[in-house]
Amino acid sequence: MSTAAQKLKTNKACYDRRPPEWRLWVSAYTRARKKKIEFTITPEDIVIPSVCPALGTPFVSNRGISCGPNRSAASLDRIRPDLGYVPGNIIVISVRANSIKNDATADEVKKVAAWLSTLQGATNAIPN
């Protein structure tokens, strides 16, 4: 194994041993620097609940997942994206909930939910 590959493996192992709040903070810091948005939170500002407040599903760790993002993992969301990562403007939700809300408006989500409800009703009416 090359020296660079060994260093990367060591850094990843060290990163993986850190608390999840710290890992979310580092990822958010990196995104904020790339996007040039305000970043004033600390790892202590990040509170991870036991379940996703948007979907009610339990969080499942990303550790050991090697094939793409884990949709049940915790992710840090900016409530109002224009305000950046500042105290009071962040919440931890699942990757799935974050991707749903990423580019949809509340009205669009309501319309999709209503549409899905009509499909569910139609599906229940079909005999097995």
Per run of 10 residues, the mean pLDDT along the chain (length 128 residues) is 56 69 95 97 96 93 63 93 96 93 88 86 55
**What is the pTM (predicted TM-score) of this model?**
0.73
> What pLDDT was estimated at residue 103?
80
Using the Cα atoms of residue 116, residue 118, residue 120 and residue 126 in order, give the sign of their dihedral.
negative
> What pLDDT was estimated at residue 33?
96
> What pLDDT was estimated at residue 4?
55
First to last CA, the chain: 57
CA pair distance 61, 64, nearest whole angstrom: 8
Residue-range domains of the chain with CATH: 19-103 (3.30.40.220)
> What pLDDT was estimated at residue 70?
85
CA pair distance 13, 67, nearest whole angstrom: 17
Place of tokens 């990303």: 62
